[in-house]
Structure 1
């Protein structure tokens, strides 16, 4: 539970149980309900690495596409 809280505290955005964290030009996404499920995408939504299945990837990318404007900006 402490690890989940630590991850959530560092996240730039959390949507429906997924923590989105910007690192350089990549977005790291972690399922807080199953820490083994992760996704790394480029800022334009291209999948770079994943341990998620295709359905979960589509769900997470839909979250990203609809909510990326709310992601905290490093320049702000």
Structure 2
């Protein structure tokens, strides 16, 4: 029974690390934005929400993004 909790923790950590892919967004003016995790696109507002490499939540207008590539 002592192995169940560490096993569950290890399994959760494995699933969480597999789900968070990092992306590079390129803006129309040539700026490259590195993200931690996949950016989220709000279809209603047109904003792209992302977490930068320092862990800060940020948003950018989707019209300014020319490409978004998984790294």
TM-score interval, normalised by the smaller of the two chains = 0.3 to 0.5
Q: Which structure features the higher share of helix residues?
A: 1
The TM-score with structure 1 as length reference comes to: 0.34
Q: Which has the higher strand share?
A: 2
TM, length-normalised to structure 2 = 0.35
Higher Cα Rg, which structure:
2
Report which structure shows greater RCO (CA 8 Å, sep ≥6): 2
